[in-house]
Amino acid sequence: MKITMLVAALLLAASTSFGQMMQKGEFQANVNSEGWSLNGGSGMRTHLVFVKFGKAFTKDPMVSVSMTSFDAAPGKDGNVRMAIKPEQVTREGFTVKISTWGDSRVAGMEGTWVAFTNK
């Protein structure tokens, strides 16, 4: 009986150890964020937002970010240019890089993220 219980416990531990781990969340930045420079000037401008995971992963996860809303105005040519991407991904967190270029003016952006890995 004890051996059966031990084997069952080991199988349960092994099945959860090889499963996927996932975390998700939201981020935002705007003209009130320290260092924000996307609402003026021209050329490439970036703003970085650090995201800390609620619980550290056992290895560096894959991260996907998406934009959910923005406040922006077109440049003289009528285009609004923005990009977001995750950078510097570690077990503990990552940086969202928000970019604009040309003479587009971005006053704020919100988004979501998903991080996942096999344990």
Q: Is the pLDDT of residue 16 over 90?
A: no
pLDDT digits (tens, 9 = 90+) for 82-97: 999 999 999 999 999 9
pLDDT digits (tens, 9 = 90+) for 60-82: 999 999 999 999 998 888 899 99
21-118 CATH choice from 3.40.190.10, 3.40.50.150, 2.60.40.2080, 2.60.40.1930: 2.60.40.2080
Give residue limits of the domains in the chain.
21-118
Residue partners of 68: CB distance under 8 A and separation at least 6: 26, 110, 111, 112
